[in-house]
Amino acid sequence: MNTLLKQRLHYLTLSFVCILCSTFTFGQNSETENTPSLLLGQGDQLSRIKKELAAGNTELVAALKKIVEEADAALEQPIVNVVAEGALPPSGDAHDYFSYSPYWWPDPENPNGPYIWRDGVTNPDRSTSDVSRLEAMNKAVTSLVPAWYFTGEEKYAERAVQQIRAWYLDPETRMNPNFRYGQKRRGHDYNSSGGILESNRMDWVVDCAILLDDFSGWTNKDKTALRRWFGELATWMVESPEGIEEAMQPNNHGAWYNQHLILFSLYGEKPEIARAHLERMPARIFGQVFIDGRQPQELIRTNALSYSIYGARALVGVARLGRHLNFDLFAYRSTEGRSIRLAIDYITPFILGEEEWPGSQIRPLRTGRANELYWNAALGFQEREFATILHKLPGDQLPSPIVQLLDPLPKGW
């Protein structure tokens, strides 16, 4: 990199810090005494993060810079909703979420017949369905809200409120609270329970909505309606055939089902649902994790290491949510030693490259899958050991900007 380019990049970074410090004064002055009761993140750490941003913490400033860039881009993009375009779901109701399963492709021997499964190979045709709009909604809200919260610029919050209302609340455009037609397979009448997995695009939207409780443009009516929507989704997840089937899956699907269900139940003011499923989690851990730490159901996949990380991430996520209801799943250990820690310990030497992975892995391992695992494990187990492993990972060791800002590690970790 030539000297002139280095100087320009340095100047841009310094300029952003100066802008941040000037806008942060507003954020400090407008801060209420209330600590946001975040569910995924840590509301009690946000004042510390604001102070570290004002002091110029390099990593946090870079994370907020990325958030603000994405928020500025979101201001220029149209508001998305579930009814605007695309094929209608089998119900004929445009308000029902509809997407195609990622690993299902045309059959070369029967091109006009039902699609067939090619595990680990994503069909680009999937992007023509509602999943692309759901992802756009998620990206907009999860950049706009933190941009507002940490800079105080209300244009970001105003746009976030418009987007949330369009996706969840406005009668003309709202999504019905179900994933009945998620991950449909062309040529198959069967509704895939795996469509529920796509609700992960709503996880951080929940915490963003909680942050908006301090924004005057987000009304009590909005808040009540959104909590009701997620409560209805949680009810659908436990009562529908698709939800019942997904809950029974012995792999990462079942674990992520629990993570999403517990999160949505807590926000949707249905703690009894969350509590019932947390009580079943020891059986889930026992069934998902073998006595040496392997997750057998993930080892049959073509990207077995990625899915082993994915499954462990779900278990950690459930355990962290369990703390809101005083469940300590991090301490659970069966008589044979099956536990969340064991699942993480098994895959760690393979992730670090200390041992050769014995299973299939047809795609390069994405660092982002591993760094969020160890970040969450450090916070969940409250042990620095996992943060130390995080810093040993090849490539980018930091999770997404919203995680860095709303769910930070202890200072110095």
146-201 pLDDT tens trace: 999 999 999 999 999 999 999 999 999 999 999 999 888 776 777 888 899 999 99
For the chain, give the percent of residues with pLDDT over 70: 91
- Tokens representing 65 are 């810079």
Domains of the chain: 280-413 (1.50.10.100)
Query: What pLDDT is attached to residue 6?
Result: 40
Distance of CA 170 to the CA centre of its chain: 24
The three-class DSSP label of residue 210 is helix
pLDDT at 25 over 80: no
125 confidence band (pLDDT: 50, 70, 90):
confident
pLDDT at 317 over 80: yes
The alpha-carbon radius of gyration of the chain (Å, integer) is: 22
Rounded mean pLDDT of 55-65?
97
What mean pLDDT value characterizes the chain?
91
30 confidence band (pLDDT: 50, 70, 90):
very low
The three-class DSSP label of residue 77 is coil
Q: Per residue in 380-395, pLDDT tens?
A: 999 999 999 999 998 8
Region label for 337, one of left (φ > 0), alpha (ψ between -120 and 50) or beta (otherwise): left
Query: What pLDDT is attached to residue 28?
Result: 47
Query: What pLDDT is attached to residue 397?
Result: 84
Residue type at 121 in one-letter notation: V
pLDDT at 95 over 90: yes
**CB within 8 Å of 236: residues ≥ 6 apart:** 177, 178, 180, 243
Report the predicted TM-score, pTM, of the whole model to 2 decimal places.
0.91
Rounded mean pLDDT of 275-293?
98
What distance in Å separates the CA atoms of residue 76 and residue 289, rounded to the nearest whole number?
46
pLDDT at 134 over 90: yes
Q: Per residue in 232-268, pLDDT tens?
A: 999 999 999 999 999 999 999 999 999 999 999 999 9
Query: What pLDDT is attached to residue 268?
Result: 98
**CB within 8 Å of 22: residues ≥ 6 apart:** none
pLDDT at 29 over 60: no
10 confidence band (pLDDT: 50, 70, 90):
very low
Rounded mean pLDDT of 132-141?
97
32 confidence band (pLDDT: 50, 70, 90):
very low
Query: What pLDDT is attached to residue 27?
Result: 52
On the CB side of 202, how many CA atoms lie within 13 Å of its CA? 29
